[in-house]
Amino acid sequence: MDRPPHVIDLGDLILRRFARDADLPELWRVIEESSEHLRPWMAWVAGHDRAATARFLDRRHEAWEEGRDFTYAIVREGAVVGACQLFRRDGCRGEGLEAGYWLHPRATGRGLATRAVRALVEEAFRLPGVEHVDIVHDLANRASGAVPERLGFSRHRRRPAERTAPAESGEEQVWRLTLRQARARAAQGARGAVAEG
């Protein structure tokens, strides 16, 4: 089964596969420092502790090996500042992947999530059989929604969802970018670059 690379080098920003034991202390600290920022939108933060972080890293390692979930540390200036992933949601047909992401509050507002997700999408479409990438967030989480909007995703649909975190509205926005759309945008960008040259 094909998988994305373990490291995606974006110059001043690196996405790299988490190392189980080696990343535990830093990831636990980053989540701890980010907990007030993440808690309104992410239910898992309520159960955050060092053991939960260790279980998360173990599960991500197993899921990567099985080709189900590819989770990366977002690293800037040598420090972990968040995480992003490509995964298949339970019940999702094989041609689609979903992208998820979060950042330490001190890393927000710099375009890092957008750059990380753009790189994930590019890698997703290099995998065989992937025809679309979705991003799903609670409708009230406007910061999360800004990322797919900047990347040219289309609003695919809204759907009801169980409220599991304090700020959630109970409705999710699903954004979608298809392989065809991505190729059309890349071709348009290439034509623009040639015209400018």
Residue with tokens 């797919």: 148
The residue type found at 74 is: I
pTM for this predicted structure: 0.92
Q: Does position 93 have pLDDT exceeding 70, yes or no?
A: no
What is the spatial distance between Cα 55 and Cα 94, in angstroms, rounded to a whole number?
26
One-letter identity of residue 179: L
pLDDT average, residue stretch 132-146: 96
Residue 90: per-residue pLDDT: 67
CA angle 61, 66, 72 (to 5 degrees): 40
What's the rounded mean pLDDT across residues 42-65?
A: 94
Of the listed ranges 121-130, 138-147, 187-196, the least confidently predicted one is 187-196
Identify which has the larger pLDDT, 84 or 187: 84
3-state secondary structure of 100: strand
Tokens 């173990």 sit on residue: 58
What's the rounded Cα separation, in Å, for the pair 81 and 61?
A: 19
Is pLDDT of 128 > 60?
yes
pLDDT over 60 at 189, yes or no: yes
**Are the C-beta atoms of 153 and 187 separated by less than 8 Å?**
no
Residue 51 in this model has a pLDDT that exceeds 70: yes
Note whether 176 and 137 are within 8 A (CB).
no
- Which residue in this structure is represented by tokens 């954004």? 175
Average pLDDT over residues 128-133: 94
| Cα–Cα distances in angstroms (integers) from residue 72 to residues 10, 57, 80, 193, 195, in the given order | 13, 11, 10, 31, 36
